[in-house]
Amino acid sequence: MNIDERLQALTHNLELLSPESVKHDRQLDRAAKLITEVAEGTARLLRVVEMHEHRLDSHDDRLDKLE
């Protein structure tokens, strides 16, 4: 195989890989968006849990004062 044939083969391989690279980039973008959404949802849930925990602690304090 001479240099021209090798260059042609490499060019062909790159042409075949290019659409796969674009597809992979789109998949990575979607995965990053999903991870961001999950992280934001988790942060919201954590805030709700903290608020409820505070309310429960307040109830416990009031019950302790009744005793």
Chain segment 10-24, per-residue pLDDT in tens: 999 999 999 999 999
| CA dist 65 → 24, 33, 51, 55, 59 (Å) | 61, 48, 21, 15, 10
Q: What is the pTM of this model?
A: 0.61
Q: Where are the domains of the chain?
A: 27-67
Q: What is the mean pLDDT of the chain?
A: 91
Q: Is the pLDDT of residue 30 over 70?
A: yes
Separation CA 46–CA 40 (nearest Å)? 10
The enclosing H or E element of 37 equals helix 3-66
d(CA 48, CA 59): 17
